[in-house]
Every structure is written in C-alpha cells, then in structure tokens.
C-alpha cells in the first residue's frame, strides 16, 4: 500500500519543487514572461493552465493505448485545444475584464510547452490517477511561480500589490520591470535563487546521508568554489 | 443547426488531415536504415558532441555510412561498443578501455610565481608566463576541466584537479578535459591499471623540492625496487608499463613523496 | 506598398517576436547554444510561419463564413500540427539535404508559441487584411525570431569560455543576456509607430 | 467463435475489407475523426451557454458610461475608415449626443488594439471611456484612465478630425500630454478619438 500511495503523491510533490516547470525545467516561459506584469494576471493564468493541465493529462493517459503513434501529436493537440477553448469561453463570459487583459495568451496555453511536455513525458505512459496528480503538482508549481513573478514585477514596476496601489511607492515605480527587459531580469534572478536554495538543501541531505562514507582524501577539504551556500552544520 | 455545422466542419477537417498524414507516412516513407535506430538506442545519447558530430543521431547515421569510428564516442560503455561493432558487421576489435587521471597532485602545495587577480580560467592564466605555478607542467587549479566536464566528475581539491576513479566514479572518459586542459596533464591510462603517477614534472629532484612539496623528486627508488621491473625512469619521471605491473604496491610504499597512488581505492 | 515595408520593419525590429512580444521563448532559450543550430531553427521557423500564415488565413475565412469563430484556436493548432508532420515527411522524401539541416527542428516547432501566435495575430491585428500581408507578416516575424536567436547564440558561444559563478550558469545567464538584448530592442519601439 | 456451417468461404473482398478496418492507418484516421467529433460537439454545446451577444454587452456598457437612454444605431458600414482605425458602430442617443465606438489598430498590445466610446454632443467631445483594450497594466493602462482621457473632453470635433497622420509634424500641436513610458498607448487612444471625431464631422454633423 505504501509504495502505491507514494506512486500517487510522489509526482505531485515532484511537480512543485523538484521539477518545478518554470524554475527547474524552464518550460512554459512565454506566459511566464508576458503575463506576469500583474500578480492577479499571473494567478489567473496559472489557474487556467492548471485546469487545462489536469484535464488533458487525465484524458491523454486514459486514451494512451488507443491513440496510434502516427497521429499522436495532432490528437494530443486537439484534446488540449478543446479544454483551452472551454476555459477561453467560460472566462470571456464570467470574467470579461480579466479575459481582456490575458487576451492573446489564453489561446496560447495550447502551445504552452508544459502541457505538451507533461503529456509526452508522463501521462502517455502512466495510469490516469498519477497523471492527474502530476498535472496538479506541475500546475500548482507553475501557478506559484507565476504569482511570485507577478508580485515582484508589480511591486517594483507599478508600486502596487494585487492591484492595490501602495501610496508612497507608486510614484517611484521603475517601469522597466513592466517592460520585457525587466521580465527577463526577474525571471533569471528567480531561477538563480531557486536553484541555489534547492542545491543547498540537496547538499545538506547528501551530507547527512553520506555521513562517514567520505573518502579520507576528500574529508578535510571544503568545496572551495560553491561560494554562496551557507556552511551548514556538517 | 448551431451544433451540426461546427461538428461537420471540424470532423471533416480532422479526417482530411488524418488521411493526408497517413497517406504521406505510408507512401513517401523513406526507409531509414534499421541499423541506425538500433545503434542510436545503444549510444549514451548524451549529445555531448565530443565525437564531433551534431549529437548521437548524427553519429549513428555516420557510423552506418562508415564515416565515423565507434572509438570517437568515448562515453559509450564497452558492451554497447561490442554490440554496435557486431551490428556494423566488423569483428569485435579489441576495445582498449581507458581511464582518465590527473597527473598532478601539487595545487596549493606548489608555490605560485605570481598572484593572478583577473578574469578567465586556466587557459587565460596559462597565457601569462606559462601559468602562475612555479612548476611549469603542474595543474593551475582554476577549474576549467571541472566546469566543462558534462558528467561533473572532476573536483578541484586543494587547488589541483582530481578525478575520482573509484567504484562510484561519474567519469565516462569522454576526454573533454584532456582536450581542454592547457597544461595537458589529464592522461588516459589503461583500465586495468591499479596505480598511477600523480605528477608530470620534468625537473631534477633538487628543483622540484624548491618548488613543490608533493612533486616527484626523480629519486628512481620505485624503478629500482619494482619486483616486475614495470617502472622505468624517463626524463626525471617514472613511467609504468601496465602490462607488467601486478599492483603489488611496493613502489607505492617506498615512494618518499607519495606521488604514486592507488587508482581504484584510497 | 509602404504597408508591406512597415510590416517587415515592425516584424523584425519594433514588435520583435521574442524580445517585445514574448512568443517562442522556449526554443529561444533551448536551441541557442550554437550558431549553426540557431540558424537551422530560425530558417525552419521562417519556413513554417510563412506556410502556416497563408493556410490559417484561408481557413479563417472559412470559419468566419461558417460563423464558428470560437473554434479558431482548435482549427489553427490542428492545422499547424498536421502541416508540420506532413512537411517533415515530404521534406525527408524530396529534399533530403534541406531535411538534414532543418529536420530535427520541425517537431520542436509544433509546440512553439510563435507559430500559433502569428496565425492569430494575422487575423486580429493586421490593419489591411490580405493573404499577401498575412504571409509577409509571418515571414517578417520569423525573420525577427531568427535575428534574435542568432544574436543570442553568438553571445552564448562567447559566454561558454567565460567564468560564471555556479548558480548563474545555464539558463540564468542566458536570461540576463536576453534582458539586455530586450532593452536595446526597446529602443526600436520609437523608430516608427 | 463457433464456425456456423452455413458460413461461405469469405470472399476475397470481405477479407480485404476486414483487413482494411484492422489496418493501422484506418485506426489512425478513425481515432482523429472521433476525437474531432467529440470535441467539436462539446465545444458547440458549451458555446451555446457561454455565447455573449456582442451588441447586448455593448449597449449595457454604454449605459454604464453615459446615460443615453434608448439609443438608435447608425449605419456605419458605408463609412470608409482611415488606415489605422475602424469605426465599429455608432448610436444616436435621445439627448442628441452621438456615441461612437472606434477602435485604433495601433497600440502597445497590437493584437487587441484600443476600442473606446467617444460621446460627442453638439460638436464637442463630451466623454471618452475605454470599452475593450488591454494595455500593459500599470503603464499603458494609465492612458486608458480618467486623467489622460479627460484632456479630450471639451475639444471641438472638427479640430480633432482634421489630422490624417497623427505623427506627422504638420498637425497643429494639440496640448495633449502623453503618459511617459506609454507613448504607444497614448497615441493609440488619440487615433481612436480622432477617428470618432472624423466620423462625427463627416456623417453626423451635416
């Protein structure tokens, strides 16, 4: 029972941290850079993508033995496009202004590399339930990344937080962060922070698990060039 | 009517395109040589490009066309090399497996001629008066090999490169470090070697002692006491003949500066 | 005539597909390690964008007549995916030399935001709607894509030999380079409105 | 399956037909066709529930912006638009004001363009409001808010309608202060307003 449970939860937790689509796998970069001029946009785009990701992962893993390999790509693309159009229509009806701000980028969820990558890499080989969990995990990882990007860019670029103007800050806002150049900057530095953090944690885990296994030759020398990770109790 | 029209249009479009794809795949299929797929599955597909081809698919195709030799791909394991040779129909030529070692152990123990403050890596330091180390064939320690190694198998310890060849070694002998080291101290030695010489100095003992505390002082003791006389002194440096060496370890015990070291364990 | 010229200039400089519209960033980051691969990718993108623009423009007329505009995304992406798959086989059969240069990039382009992006933009934002202008816009945006990816490939080859702190290696340094490129391209925005 | 005695030797055609249905390519086409059928069925059904009728939404928006009472649409199909803008439609309000819905194709977010309501009463701009445009939030969006749009209120439509190419220096300088950092959005709004004014002067005023 334990490993079956792990088999389901594992892809979920993977999706968020270990292979977080935006920071680790660097997938789905088009909406990440374009939409995150405001935190609310990032959040909605993330949730819309998560919905499409879950449904398409589920359906593709259901049909994985039925779809012949020759027409694999058109079939997947059609399934994904169907869900995206549903999201597009529902959003146009119930969230019109948000639909206007996301505009062109909603149909572009279809070609968002994450969905196709998860479909090809994961859900066409695994059972529906792990695929859905993987879709959920990756989706939430993507949404978190987008929202964080949105918050930073909105805070620095427009001096507001989720649309609420911060009185004093907004007349010192650096509009560079709203422009494309700022997007690339923020995205690059966030990847650095994320990688450094995950590597540091990984190093600590290795150090703990490695324990005494260190060879005599290496033991006394610390890694000279990993400058930025804090020493940590060895 | 609103439902019928889109359904008809989309289904007919999908069918038309499906038919065209299937027709095109069937009629115009260019028979790829099945051997290419087979070989591609055996190659490590790391696409490291060391073989000079644009990735493993390209290498597989040129292997079948005879434009490349399997030795070009150093990180391919011995069994798959044998299998590929069988697919290509050639006899299983004796694939001499090799291991890569760093023939220097000086690093911080070797004095610096000048203190390098600037940009770049070993290659740029080498440009200034043959590197910052007093010993001109010693490792500069700026880590160019460490950064270029696709398998992260090289560590810079105490200012000198070290390749771990013990059982959980990550080194795939791809040879990127050999081509990129400006001092040319990364060397290939036969896989059956048990010991190796961690020095490539060409100076007499007196000069070595003044420059580097760990270097080989060319005393020649190892050559004298080796029971299999596998070691010969050539230009102030011992050379091991790995066919004769039976890894008895006498030379290693005798060596005053511990330059001769175990390869596969500590 | 000047509208065609405007399209070309805006496709390459003003609304550059990568640096100001953010479309097609995945291959922009992924394929730009070496100049030859970047060039191969660029030409393949121009090739596909040109054909896709014309085909999708025609299809859109069909959709408008049938009044089912909401199926536009579905039809476009189906057509693009099928088109690329057919193109791959046809190229392999009739033009093996071109296939060996571009072949490996074609499947990559299917999930490329730029192709679908230009297909939709041809419908929504072209001032004068005609097949020629759609084709021109496709090719110009493809050229913009190629120029941006070539510039980045050239810089990245230089970066290979320089000493970058460990966490910055790989994507982060590429993104920061792209940021500086985006800043310089932003200057073109005021070139001609 | 038990072989019925009466079963004749399957004719060559039936065997070939059975083979055809089993064959790989038929399965491929069938799967794609079925997926297309199912998806288009779902989408058309969903569309019926979520279809927004454009005109209705626009009329509602107009009433929010300017209480024009019952509005009678004006036929705009005959009007030849300028190169970079298009008049989507126009209405005559009860109190004689004319509500013009004009879209400028030039904007920062070129895919969306900028669509505005321009309300012109006896020759002067009474109000300008954003109908549907998505400029970059925090930057371009400032050009769609009150302060920038207020500048146009009170201007005579005939003066606004004169300029053809907005960016050419020959245009008499209007004291419109652009939003810094959002030149494209500000110019886009100006094009839309001037297009509406030109329409008003040509079609409605005489």
- pLDDT, residue A220, reads 45
**What average pLDDT score do residues D159-168 get?**
59
pLDDT for residue C150 is more than 90: yes
Indicate if D92 and D184 belong to the same structural domain: yes
Residue of B nearest to A217 (CA): B266
Contact A32, A187 (CB under 8 A): yes
- Which residues of chain C are within 8 Å of residue A113 when distances are taken between CB atoms? 26, 111
Rounded Cα gap, residues A65 and A51, in angstroms = 23
Low-confidence ranges of chain A (pLDDT < 70): 1-3, 210-234
Contact B67, B79 (CB under 8 A): no
Which chain A residues in 74-103 lie under 8 Å from chain B, judged by CB atoms? 74, 78
Rounded Cα gap, residues C32 and C152, in angstroms = 7
Q: Which of D111, D113, D195 to mutate to test the interface with C (most CBs of C within 10 A)?
A: D111
Burial class (CB in 10 A: 0-12, 13-18, 19+), D122: exposed
- pLDDT, residue A222, reads 43
Which tens digits make up the pLDDT trace of C87-107? Answer: 888 887 887 777 776 666 676
Residue of A nearest to C83 (CA): A74
Specify if C7 maps to a domain: no
Count of CB pairs separated by less than 8 Å, B with C: 53
**What average pLDDT score do residues D152-156 get?**
76
- pLDDT, residue A225, reads 41
Rounded Cα gap, residues C82 and C76, in angstroms = 10
Q: What total of structural domains would you count in chain A?
A: 1
Which chain B residues in 21-80 lie under 8 Å from chain D, judged by CB atoms? 21-23, 25-26
Whose tokens are 């005695």? That residue is D5
- pLDDT, residue B132, reads 87
Rounded Cα gap, residues C16 and A107, in angstroms = 20
Among D114, D194, D206, which residue's Cα sits nearest to residue D156? D194
Residue of B nearest to C91 (CA): B28
Specify if D133 maps to a domain: yes
Alpha helices in chain A (DSSP H): 2-13, 29-35, 39-62, 72-94, 96-102, 113-118, 128-158, 180-210, 216-219
Indicate if D89 and D146 belong to the same structural domain: yes
Specify if D19 maps to a domain: yes
Specify if D2 maps to a domain: no
Specify if A213 maps to a domain: no
Which tens digits make up the pLDDT trace of D87-123? Answer: 887 888 777 788 888 888 777 766 667 888 888 888 7
Which tens digits make up the pLDDT trace of B210-240? Answer: 888 888 888 888 888 888 888 998 888 898 8
Contact D90, D120 (CB under 8 A): no
- Interchain pair A191, C171: CB under 8 A: yes
Specify if D6 maps to a domain: no
What are the helix and strand counts (H, E) for chain B? Answer: 10, 8
Specify if C165 maps to a domain: no
Specify if A96 maps to a domain: yes
Residue D29 is nearest to which of B7, B9, B15, comparing CB atoms? B15
Specify if C16 maps to a domain: no
Specify if D7 maps to a domain: no
pLDDT band at B96 (very low <50, low <70, confident <90, very high): low
Residue of B nearest to D45 (CA): B3
A200's CB contacts (< 8 A; 6+ apart) are: A229, A230, A232
Domain that holds residue D99: 54-204
Which tens digits make up the pLDDT trace of B9-38? Answer: 888 988 898 888 888 887 776 666 677 777
Please give the backbone phi and psi of residue A164, each rounded to the nearest 5 degrees, phi first.
Answer: -90, 120
**What average pLDDT score do residues B127-146 get?**
86
pLDDT band at B95 (very low <50, low <70, confident <90, very high): very low
- Interchain pair A104, D111: CB under 8 A: yes
- Please report how many Cα atoms fall inside a 13 Å half-sphere around the Cα of residue A218, on the Cβ side: 19
In this complex, the chains that touch D, judged by 3 or more CB pairs closer than 8 A, are A, B, C
Burial class (CB in 10 A: 0-12, 13-18, 19+), D75: exposed
Indicate if D30 and D82 belong to the same structural domain: no
Helix (H, G, I), strand (E, B) or coil at A110: coil
- Interchain pair B18, A216: CB under 8 A: no
- Interchain pair C161, B121: CB under 8 A: yes
Rounded Cα gap, residues C82 and C67, in angstroms = 23
pLDDT band at C117 (very low <50, low <70, confident <90, very high): confident
Specify if A70 maps to a domain: yes
Strands (E) in B91-233, as ranges, are 98-102, 154-157, 160-163, 186-190, 195-197, 231-233
> How near does any CA of chain D get to the CA of A90, in Å?
6
Contact of D163 with chain C, judged by CB distance below 8 Å, is answered with no
Specify if C48 maps to a domain: yes
Report helix angle D12-22 to D24-50, nearest 10. 60
pLDDT band at D12 (very low <50, low <70, confident <90, very high): confident
pLDDT for residue C63 is more than 70: yes
Alpha helices in chain D (DSSP H): 12-22, 24-50, 54-65, 146-150, 157-162, 183-199
Contact D111, A103 (CB under 8 A): yes
How crowded is residue A187: how many other Cβ atoms within 10 Å of its Cβ? 27
- Which residues of chain A are within 8 Å of residue C22 when distances are taken between CB atoms? 30, 33-34, 180, 183
How crowded is residue D106: how many other Cβ atoms within 10 Å of its Cβ? 22
> How near does any CA of chain A get to the CA of D141, in Å?
10
Indicate if D139 and D194 belong to the same structural domain: yes
Q: What total of structural domains would you count in chain D?
A: 2
> How near does any CA of chain A get to the CA of C102, in Å?
19
Q: Give me C44's structure tokens.
A: 């393949």
**Mean per-residue pLDDT over chain D, rounded:** 75
- Please report how many Cα atoms fall inside a 13 Å half-sphere around the Cα of residue B2, on the Cβ side: 11
pLDDT for residue B91 is more than 60: no
* Continuous segment of H or E residues that includes residue B25: helix B4-27
Indicate if D162 and D181 belong to the same structural domain: yes
Domain that holds residue C119: 23-152
Please give the backbone phi and psi of residue B229, each rounded to the nearest 5 degrees, phi first.
Answer: 40, 50
> Taking the complete model, does pTM exceed 0.90, yes or no?
no
- Interchain pair D111, C190: CB under 8 A: no
Helix (H, G, I), strand (E, B) or coil at D88: strand
- Interchain pair C172, A191: CB under 8 A: yes
Residue of B nearest to C85 (CA): B21
* Continuous segment of H or E residues that includes residue C96: helix C96-102
Long-range contacts of C70-73 (CB under 8 A, 24+ apart): C70/A85, C70/A88, C70/A89, C70/D43, C70/D47, C71/A85, C71/B6, C71/B9, C71/B10, C71/D40, C71/D43, C72/A107, C72/C120, C72/C123, C73/A81, C73/A84, C73/A85, C73/A88, C73/A107, C73/A110, C73/C116, C73/C120
Among D203, D205, D206, which residue's Cα sits nearest to residue D77? D203
In this complex, the chains that touch A, judged by 3 or more CB pairs closer than 8 A, are B, C, D
Rounded Cα gap, residues C135 and C67, in angstroms = 24
Indicate if D89 and D161 belong to the same structural domain: yes
Indicate if D85 and D118 belong to the same structural domain: yes
Report helix angle C113-124 to C35-66, nearest 10. 40
- pLDDT, residue B52, reads 59
- Interchain pair C74, D43: CB under 8 A: yes
> How near does any CA of chain D get to the CA of B175, in Å?
46
Domain that holds residue A53: 2-200
The more confidently predicted of residues D41 and D138 is D41
Indicate if D30 and D86 belong to the same structural domain: no
Specify if A224 maps to a domain: no
**Mean per-residue pLDDT over chain B, rounded:** 81
Phi-psi region of B229 (alpha: psi -120 to 50; beta: other; left: phi over 0): left
A50's CB contacts (< 8 A; 6+ apart) are: A135, A136, A139, A140, A142, A143
- Interchain pair B143, A225: CB under 8 A: yes
> How near does any CA of chain B get to the CA of C86, in Å?
6
D115's CB contacts (< 8 A; 6+ apart) are: D88, D101, D102, D103, D104, D130, D131, D132, D133, D192
How far is Cα of residue B218 from the mean position of the Cα atoms in its chain? 28
Q: Which domains does chain B have, with CATH numbers?
A: 34-88 (1.10.15.40), 98-262 (3.30.70.20)
| DSSP assignment of C147-187 | HHHHHHHHHHHHHHTS---GGGTTHHHHHHHHHHHHHHHHG
pLDDT band at C147 (very low <50, low <70, confident <90, very high): very high
Q: What total of structural domains would you count in chain C?
A: 1
Phi-psi region of A224 (alpha: psi -120 to 50; beta: other; left: phi over 0): alpha
- Which residues of chain C are within 8 Å of residue D181 when distances are taken between CB atoms? none
* Torsion, Cα of D145, D148, D152, D153 (10° steps): 60
Among C185, C152, C175, which residue's Cα sits nearest to residue C37? C152
Strands B231-233 and D72-74: unpaired
- pLDDT, residue B50, reads 58
Rounded Cα gap, residues A141 and D124, in angstroms = 53
Rounded Cα gap, residues B248 and B226, in angstroms = 9
Specify if A18 maps to a domain: yes
């Amino acid at each position: 029972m334990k490993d079956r449970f792990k088999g389901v939860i594992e892809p979920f937790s993977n999706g968020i941290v270990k292979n977080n689509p935006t920071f680790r796998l660097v997938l789905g970069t088009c909406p990440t850079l374009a939409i995150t001029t405001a935190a609310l946009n990032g959040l909605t785009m993330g949730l819309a993508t998560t919905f499409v990701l879950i449904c398409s992962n589920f359906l593709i893993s259901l049909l994985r033995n039925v779809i012949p390999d020759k027409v694999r790509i058109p079939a997947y693309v059609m399934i994904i496009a169907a869900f995206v159009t549903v999201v597009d229509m529902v959003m146009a009806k119930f969230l019109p202004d948000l639909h206007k701000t996301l505009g062109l980028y909603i149909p572009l969820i279809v070609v968002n590399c994450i969905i196709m990558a998860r479909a090809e890499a994961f859900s066409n080989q695994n059972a529906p339930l792990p695929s859905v969990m993987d879709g959920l995990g990756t989706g939430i990882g993507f949404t978190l990344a987008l929202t964080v990007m949105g918050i930073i860019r909105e805070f620095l670029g427009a001096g507001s937080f989720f649309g609420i103007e911060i009185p004093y800050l907004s007349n010192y806002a650096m509009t560079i962060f709203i422009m494309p150049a700022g997007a690339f900057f923020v995205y690059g530095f966030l990847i650095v922070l994320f990688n450094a953090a995950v590597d540091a944690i990984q190093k600590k885990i290795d150090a703990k698990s490695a324990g005494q296994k260190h060879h005599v030759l290496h033991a006394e020398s610390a890694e000279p060039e990993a400058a930025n990770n804090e020493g940590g109790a060895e | 009517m609103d439902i019928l029209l889109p359904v008809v249009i989309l289904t007919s479009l999908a069918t038309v395109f499906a038919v065209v794809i299937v027709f095109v795949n069937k009629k115009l299929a260019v028979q790829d040589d099945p051997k290419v797929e087979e070989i591609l599955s055996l190659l490590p597909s790391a696409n490291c490009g060391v073989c000079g081809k644009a990735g493993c698919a390209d290498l597989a195709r040129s292997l079948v066309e005879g434009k490349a030799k399997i030795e070009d791909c150093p990180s391919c394991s011995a069994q798959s090399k044998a299998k590929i040779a069988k697919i290509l129909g050639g006899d299983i030529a004796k694939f001499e497996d090799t291991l890569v070692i760093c023939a220097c152990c000086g690093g911080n123990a070797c004095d610096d001629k000048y203190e390098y403050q600037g940009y770049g890596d070993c290659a740029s330091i080498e440009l200034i008066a043959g590197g910052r180390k007093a010993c001109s064939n010693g490792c500069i320690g700026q880590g160019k090999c460490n950064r270029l190694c696709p398998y992260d198998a090289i560590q810079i310890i105490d200012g000198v490169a070290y390749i771990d060849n013990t059982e959980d070694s990550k080194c795939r002998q791809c040879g990127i470090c050999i081509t990129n080291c400006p001092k040319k101290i990364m060397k290939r030695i036969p896989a059956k070697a048990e010991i190796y010489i961690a020095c490539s100095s060409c100076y007499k003992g007196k000069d070595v002692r003044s420059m580097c505390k760990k270097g080989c002082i060319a005393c020649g003791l190892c050559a004298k006491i080796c029971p299999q006389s596998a070691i010969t002194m050539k230009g102030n440096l011992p050379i091991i003949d790995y066919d004769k060496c039976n890894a008895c370890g006498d030379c290693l015990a005798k060596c005053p500066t511990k330059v001769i070291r175990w390869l596969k364990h500590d | 005539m000047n509208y065609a010229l405007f399209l070309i200039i805006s496709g390459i400089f003003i609304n550059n597909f990568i640096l100001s519209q953010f479309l097609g960033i995945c291959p922009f980051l992924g394929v730009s390690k070496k100049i030859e691969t970047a060039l191969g990718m660029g030409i393949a993108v121009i090739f596909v964008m040109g054909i896709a623009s014309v085909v999708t423009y025609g299809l859109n007329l069909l959709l408008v007549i049938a009044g089912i505009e909401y199926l536009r995304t579905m039809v476009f992406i189906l057509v693009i995916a099928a088109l690329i798959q057919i193109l791959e086989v046809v190229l392999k059969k009739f033009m093996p030399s071109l296939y060996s240069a571009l072949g490996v990039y074609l499947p990559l382009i299917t999930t490329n935001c730029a192709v679908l992006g230009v297909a939709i933009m041809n419908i929504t934002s072209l001032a004068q709607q005609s097949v020629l202008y759609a084709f021109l816009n496709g090719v110009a945006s493809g050229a913009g894509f190629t120029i941006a990816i070539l510039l980045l490939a050239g810089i990245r080859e230089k970066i290979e030999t320089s000493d970058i702190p460990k966490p910055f290696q790989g994507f982060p340094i590429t993104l920061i380079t792209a940021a500086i490129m985006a800043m310089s391209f932003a200057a073109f925005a005021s070139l001609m409105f | 399956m038990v072989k019925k005695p009466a079963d004749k030797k399957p004719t060559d055609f039936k065997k070939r037909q059975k083979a055809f249905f089993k064959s790989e390519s038929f399965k491929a086409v069938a799967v794609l066709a079925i997926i297309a059928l199912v998806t288009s069925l779902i989408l058309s059904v969903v569309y019926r529930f979520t279809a927004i009728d454009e005109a209705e939404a626009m009329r509602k928006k107009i009433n929010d912006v300017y209480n024009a009472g019952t509005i009678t649409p004006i036929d705009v199909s005959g009007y030849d638009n300028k190169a970079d803008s298009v008049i989507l439609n126009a209405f005559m309000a009860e109190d004689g004001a004319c509500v013009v819905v004009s879209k400028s194709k030039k904007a920062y977010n070129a895919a969306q363009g900028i669509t505005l309501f321009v309300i012109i009463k006896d020759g002067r701009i009474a109000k300008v409001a954003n109908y549907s445009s998505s400029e970059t939030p925090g930057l371009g969006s400032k050009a769609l808010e009150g302060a920038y749009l207020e500048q146009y209120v009170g201007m005579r439509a005939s003066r606004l309608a004169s300029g053809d190419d907005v960016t050419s220096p020959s245009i008499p300088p209007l004291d419109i202060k652009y939003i810094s950092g959002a030149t494209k959005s500000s110019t886009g709004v100006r094009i839309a307003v001037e297009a509406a004014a030109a329409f008003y002067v040509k079609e409605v005023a005489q």
